[in-house]
Amino acid sequence: MARTPVWKSIAETLENEIAAGHYSAGDKLPTEAQLAARFGVNRHTVRHALADMAERGLVQSRRGAGVFVAAEPTLYPIGKRVRFHQNIRASGRLPEKRVLRLQTRPCDATEAEALALDPGTSVLVYEGLSLSGGVAVAHFESVFPATRLPGLADTLKTVSSVTEALRQNGIADYIRAETRITAERASPTQALHLGISEGAPLLRTVGLNVTPEGEPVERGITWFAGDRVTLTMASD
């Protein structure tokens, strides 16, 4: 009978300990060095075991922070009122945003059409990462009509909720007019940002937010890590 490879037996041991509740969802596993010492193997073997567990969705490696027991996916309702901070809080986790870029540039043809702008009009580009309970769950890029919202760039430097930033710039309310959803592979940059492997499946949503009067205020593209977020849609 073929001998079970050592890395596999380590993975099974850790899997059983997770199942038994020795480590809970979100817990950090011991370091590679600690696990190597515990199992009497080199770090290469430990890494093989952890890579196998990550591949099966049992653990998640976070760049520079360590390896964590995979959490249940964050449930993210998609409907008439899509609010990141509210959605993440409703799932019992802490919402955060990390700004990667705030830039004003002329809109492209797709943005002009979505936001009902004349070609070449200025848009504010807001690119960043969305975190749920300290874990990056999505990469986003939104564009806003810059002329209509001249103070928004400054507000977004300090206010991480788009809802709140829009409110401070005179948009008291907005609704989601349409969402389009596809699946894509993570680009090398997205893989780095989200701490996932290159080519990992992403949920890509394109959403258009409009005022209750129907005026477009935001076109946002969000790439959710496929194993960290489940979009939910109730039908009423």
Interface with a second copy by CB under 8 A: which residues? 73, 75, 78-80, 175-185, 199-203, 224, 226-227, 229-236
Nearer to a second copy, 73 or 128 (CB): 73
C-alpha 232/C-alpha 180 separation (Å) is 14
Nearer to a second copy, 27 or 72 (CB): 72
Say which residues have a Cβ less than 8 Å from residue 4's Cβ, sequence separation at least 6. Answer: none
C-alpha 175/C-alpha 200 separation (Å) is 31
C-beta of residue 54 within 8 angstroms of C-beta of residue 61: yes
For residue 62, the minimal CB distance to a second copy (Å) is 19
Nearer to a second copy, 45 or 209 (CB): 209
For residue 204, the minimal CB distance to a second copy (Å) is 8
Nearer to a second copy, 144 or 223 (CB): 223
Nearer to a second copy, 217 or 229 (CB): 229
For residue 78, the minimal CB distance to a second copy (Å) is 6
For residue 1, the minimal CB distance to a second copy (Å) is 26
For residue 74, the minimal CB distance to a second copy (Å) is 11
Owner of token pair 């996916």: 73
What does the DSSP assignment read for 26-47?
Answer: TPBPPPHHHHHHHHTS-HHHHH
Nearer to a second copy, 1 or 234 (CB): 234
Structure-token pair, residue 43: 């770090």
For residue 16, the minimal CB distance to a second copy (Å) is 20
First to last CA, the chain: 57
Nearer to a second copy, 32 or 193 (CB): 193
C-beta of residue 162 within 8 angstroms of C-beta of residue 84: yes
Neighbouring C-alpha atoms within 13 Å toward the C-beta of 23: 18
Say which residues have a Cβ less than 8 Å from residue 83's Cβ, sequence separation at least 6. Answer: 163
For residue 132, the minimal CB distance to a second copy (Å) is 15
**Residue among 181, 160, 183, 177 at smallest CA distance from 215:** 177
Within a 10 A sphere around the Cβ of 193, how many other Cβ atoms? 20
